[in-house]
Structure 1
Amino acid sequence: MTDAVLQHPDIDRPHAFTQEELGWVPWLAPLTEEELSERHWEALVDRRRAASPYFLLLARDPEILRARTETDNDIFYNTDAGLPRAERELAAAATSRHNGCVFCASVHARFASHHSKRLDDVQRLLDDGVDAPQEARWRAVIDASVALAETPGGLTAEHLDALRAAGLDDLAISDALHAAAFFNWANRLMLSLGEPTSPAPRAGRKAEQ
């Protein structure tokens, strides 16, 4: 692995939080798909992740990548009980918005919009920040997520009381906090290893628009 920092002087960097699908470029060299061994493929869990430079970079430590991905999948896709998927994604989006991770915020805001069908509410979170007006249940999820992201000790009994008052049981509260905690860590990893790029112009849309 080279120690050289990769430079990307000509990329188009996003200048605002968005629900559009962004790209991402690494500052350290990822593996190439040709370099992946069976051990790396197992660590990716989903072979389609080999198309992502982020996961190809994380594949340099396959044991940690596998643990990271299995944890991620269990938090967000194990929805037999507990918090609905939309609000798990909301917790991740709010955490990412607070931490300034434009890429992660775009991914989880998009999922939150898809699963909740509340595009405007999610966009308000991105445009106006974590203190923007939201109805009580979303307010409680956002506030608890941001408090945990700020510092673990910032999460108080008052946050838990607000979540319970909004209708969350202990399992749902656990899901919200796991989603926030995971992306509080994941944001810092992604922000340390590379940067987002703006989406390519859609077909039929002028590049200057």
Structure 2
Amino acid sequence: MMSEPGREVRSAETSRRPRGFTQEQLDWVPWVEPIVLADADELQRPLLEGDRGVGPYFRLLARNAEVLAHRSANDRAIFYGRGGLTRAERELAATVTSRHNGCEYCASVHSRFTSALSKRVADVQRLLDEGNEVRIDERWDAVIDFVDALAANPPRATADHPKRLRELGFDSAELHDLVLSAASFSWANRLMLTLGEPEVPA
């Protein structure tokens, strides 16, 4: 799709696609024109407060304000809820799911969160470089294997996956959070991959 000068939608021919998975910050270029923040209506405006009104992703989703409101509430509950799984492992689950689904943009965002929260930058980079077959340590390997099996289409998870995690000390709330993180990002990855593409900043 060709676009007018200055518009955010760009053609595949002019985009700067990343070469593989990275923890570096990426841009995301939509294939459908987002709303202009100044034109947001009374339903859209509260959903685009702060940083969410800066980039094109949320301004594009704001074209359906009701869906964006539910999506944002769902995201907050899964990734910022109290109790249950640590935030670092929720972000690890999002990274693993994004790596499985081939979403370079989501993987870059959530691998940075995983690194920052876990202080394990090198381990996270190995996950991005080697894929979900990487072996890191007993706990992370169990998380990676379960989430990767959940992200598969059709899912490959079996009763052995949560059993292994329980043997490592995971409780029901933590397992629940892993499932929600994987499910949320299987949906988010498909949305990102359908509506646009990642781009290396100029």
What TM-score results when the alignment is normalised by the length of structure 2?
0.92
Counterpart Cα distance in 2 of 1:68 and 1:152: 23
Alignment equivalent of 2:88, drawn from 86, 89, 97: 86
**Counterparts in 2 of 1:74 and 1:152: CA distance versus 1, 3 Å:** farther
What RMSD, in angstroms, separates the aligned Cα atoms of the two structures?
1.4
Q: Unmatched 5+ residue regions in structure 2?
A: 1-8
* Partner residue, 1:50: 53
Identity, in percent, stands at 52
What TM-score results when the alignment is normalised by the length of structure 1?
0.89
| Structure 1 segments of 4+ aligned residues over 6 angstroms from their partners | none
Give how far 1:19 is off.
Answer: 0.3
**CA offset digits 1:9-62 (Å, max 9, x no partner):** 322110110001100000011101121012002334x43201010111000000
Greater mean deviation of Cα atoms: 161-170 or 149-158: 149-158
Q: Which amino acid aligns with 1:136?
A: E
**CA offset digits 1:46-97 (Å, max 9, x no partner):** 432010101110000000001001101111111x211111100000000000
* Partner residue, 1:69: 72
Counterpart Cα distance in 1 of 2:12 and 2:60: 16
Counterpart Cα distance in 2 of 1:91 and 1:106: 13
Counterpart Cα distance in 1 of 2:27 and 2:167: 39
Tell me whether 1:37 sits opposite 2:41 in the alignment: yes
Q: Unmatched 5+ residue regions in structure 1?
A: 201-209
Q: Which amino acid aligns with 2:79?
A: F
Equivalent pair of 2:103/2:189 in contact (CA under 8 Å): yes
Q: Which amino acid aligns with 2:54?
A: A
Equivalent pair of 2:10/2:29 in contact (CA under 8 Å): no
Equivalent pair of 1:76/1:85 in contact (CA under 8 Å): yes
* Partner residue, 1:7: 11
* Partner residue, 2:129: 127
Q: Which amino acid aligns with 2:201?
A: P
Counterpart Cα distance in 1 of 2:108 and 2:201: 11
Give how far 1:108 is off.
Answer: 0.5
Q: Which amino acid aligns with 1:74?
A: A
**Counterparts in 2 of 1:58 and 1:126: CA distance versus 1, 3 Å:** same
